[in-house]
Amino acid sequence: MSKINEAAEVKETAAENQTDTAPAEKSNGRNGKPRKNPFRNKKFKYGGLSVLFTVIFIVAVVLVNVIITLLGDRFMPTADLTDSGLYSIEQSTVDYLKTVTDEVTITVTSEEAAFTGGSSYYYQTNEILKKIAAANSNIKLQYIDVVSNPGFIANYTETITSNEIMVESKATKRVKVLTYEDFLSITYNEQYLNYYGVKRPEKVEANAEQAVVSAIMNVTDTDPVKVAVLTGYGEKENTVLQNLLKTNSYVIESVNITLTDKISEDYDFVFMFGPDKDYSVADINKLDTWLDNSGKFGKNLVYVGNPKLGESPNIDGLLDQWGLKVEKGITYQTDENYTYSGMNTYQVLSVPDTDFSKFTNSSPVHGYNMSPVTSKWADQNGNGNITVQSILNTYAGAVIKPQDSGDNWSPESDAERKQYSVIMQAVKTRYEGTNPFSSRIVAIGGMEFLNTSFLQTASVNNSQLIMNIFNVSCNKEEGITLTPKSYNTSTFEITDAQKNGLVIGFVIVLPLLLIISGIVIWVKRLHK
3-state secondary structure 43-93: HHHHHHHHHHHHHHHHHHHHHHHHHHHHHHHHHCCCCCCCCCCCCCCCHHH
Which sign, positive or negative, has the C-alpha torsion 307, 310, 314, 320? positive
Q: Could you tell me the pTM of the whole model? A: 0.64
SS3 call for 375: strand
Cα(297)–Cα(429) distance, integer angstroms: 8
- DSSP character at residue 60: H
**pLDDT tens, position by position, for the chain (528 residues)?**
444 455 445 455 545 555 444 454 444 555 555 565 555 555 555 566 667 777 787 888 778 777 766 655 555 445 555 656 788 888 889 999 999 999 999 999 999 999 998 788 899 999 999 999 999 999 999 999 999 998 998 888 888 999 999 999 999 888 989 988 888 877 777 666 566 666 677 778 888 898 899 889 889 988 889 999 999 999 999 998 998 888 777 889 999 999 999 999 999 999 999 999 999 999 999 999 999 999 999 999 999 999 889 899 999 999 999 999 999 999 999 999 999 878 999 999 999 999 999 887 888 999 999 999 999 987 767 777 899 999 999 999 999 999 888 888 999 988 889 999 999 999 999 998 888 999 999 999 999 999 988 988 878 999 999 999 999 999 876 666 666 676 665 444 455 566 677 778 877 888 888 888 888 887 877 776
140 contacts 133 by C-beta, under 8 angstroms: yes
DSSP, collapsed to helix, strand or coil, labels residue 428 as strand
> Which backbone phi and psi does 2 adopt, to 5 degrees?
-75, 160
How far is 104 from 212, CA to CA, in rounded Å?
11
Residue 336's identity, in one-letter code, is E
What is the reported pLDDT for 184? 84
Burial 19-35 (b: 16+ CB within 10 A, else e): eeeeeeeeeeeeeeeee
3 state SS of 138: coil
**How many Cβ atoms from other residues are within 10 Å of residue 52's Cβ?**
12
- Is 419 exposed, middle or buried (CB count within 10 Å of its CB: 0-12, 13-18, 19+)? middle
- CA distances 212 to 52, 162, 246, 294, 420, Å, are 51, 17, 11, 38, 40
